[in-house]
Amino acid sequence: MKIGFIGLGIMGKPMAKNLLKAGHGLVVYDIVAAPVEELVKAGAKAGTSPKDVAGQCEVLITMLPNSPEVKEVVLGKNGVIEGAKPGLIVVDMSSIAPLASQEMAAELAKKGVEMLDAPVSGGEPKAIDATLAVMVGGKPEVFEKVKPVLLKMGASAVLCGGIGSGNVTKLANQIIVALNIAAMSEALVLAAKAGVDPGKVFDAIKGGLAGSAVLNAKAPMVCKGNFKPGFRMELHIKDLQNALDTAHAIGVPVPLTGTVMEIMQALKVDGKQKDDHCGVIQFYEKLAGQVVRSDL
């Protein structure tokens, strides 16, 4: 199956490489030249625009920052919609507002083009290992056609409901991850200031009820003071903004999400928005005057 791939950043580049490894013909596009050249060296063909890519594939995947970029690529000038032939399936794997997915799907449907929203969880390591968790919204028959492709990039692909459901699921995921990071930060700063090695705390509790994938991934990073992304805090701010907007539009108060959003906003003012999202601990470290470090 010939696949188009637009957006070759931290996530998109390894995901596209996994499709190549699986033997798919690939046409790629990004506004930055370096990752395109890297993919071409690995065997992909370079497209000249989203329109050009759309004309050359049966399935077109986008992995872009947020709703405005996806809308521009899909519906804008020289966009996917201009090059798409009827029958094309657009799979947006970016994390965006559910309403934006629904709006784009409606526009594409007028041209006989199907769309799934299929954001992922797992971050760069799981993008490289092809073990992402993929959460999908759209028609069941379209999902079944694309599922084998999704499973070349992920360990699981679950259809959550109609178009937009993948991104609603991702918002739920991002609320849980953000609140976990904040809880871990609060707890490890407390432990460190109480004179207990935070690495020992992690070791002791990781197998108990407080253990989590977030704790396993992020506690070793914060204990080393390693805030290299991974998942940039500015992307998590984007996700929490989408969560707040979506929640408020349907009458769901999300008080803890609002609090963690303000913590991230404070860190952004401090110039830390490019740090990994586990950099949230720096807010607590500043409040308590206590840095969290351990040899682990």
Which residues are marked as active site? 170
Closest CB 102 distance from ligand NAD, rounded Å: 17
Kindly state whether residue 6 participates in binding ligand NAD, applying the rule CB under 6 A: yes
Give the nearer residue to ligand NAD in terms of CB position, either 119 or 138.
119
Residue 251 preceded by cis peptide, ω within 30: no
> What is the number of the residue whose Cβ is closest to ligand NAD?
9
Choose one: 8-16, 100-108, 179-187, 205-213; the region binding ligand NAD (CB under 6 A). 8-16
**Residue count (the chain):** 296
- Answer for which of 5, 143, 231, 284 binds ligand NAD (CB under 6 A) is 231
Say if CB 293 and CB 223 are below 8 A apart: yes
- Answer for which of 38, 58, 72, 197 binds ligand NAD (CB under 6 A) is 72
- Answer for which of 3, 14, 30, 280 binds ligand NAD (CB under 6 A) is 30
Hey, CA dihedral for 15, 17, 18, 20, is it positive or negative? positive
Say if CB 106 and CB 95 are below 8 A apart: no
d(CA 5, CA 26): 7
Kindly state whether residue 69 participates in binding ligand NAD, applying the rule CB under 6 A: yes
Kindly state whether residue 79 participates in binding ligand NAD, applying the rule CB under 6 A: no
Kindly state whether residue 166 participates in binding ligand NAD, applying the rule CB under 6 A: no
d(CA 279, CA 222): 7
Give the nearer residue to ligand NAD in terms of CB position, either 4 or 35.
35
Say if CB 134 and CB 147 are below 8 A apart: no
Give the nearer residue to ligand NAD in terms of CB position, either 9 or 258.
9
Kindly state whether residue 10 participates in binding ligand NAD, applying the rule CB under 6 A: yes
Q: Which long-range contacts (CB under 8 A, 24 or more apart) does 272-275 make?
A: 272/227, 272/233, 273/232, 273/233, 273/234, 273/237, 274/229, 274/232, 274/233, 274/234, 275/227, 275/228, 275/229, 275/232, 275/233
Kindly state whether residue 243 participates in binding ligand NAD, applying the rule CB under 6 A: no
CA distances to 165, 191, 204, 225, 275 from 201, in Å:
37, 7, 5, 16, 24
Choose one: 62-70, 108-116, 160-168, 279-287; the region binding ligand NAD (CB under 6 A). 62-70
Count of residues in contact with ligand NAD, rule CB under 6 A: 27
Output phi, psi for 118, to 5 deg.
-145, 60
d(CA 270, CA 201): 28
Kindly state whether residue 94 participates in binding ligand NAD, applying the rule CB under 6 A: yes
Kindly state whether residue 64 participates in binding ligand NAD, applying the rule CB under 6 A: yes
Kindly state whether residue 95 participates in binding ligand NAD, applying the rule CB under 6 A: yes
Contact residues toward ligand NAD (CB under 6 A) are 6-12, 29-32, 35, 63-65, 69, 72-73, 94-95, 120-121, 123-124, 230-231, 235
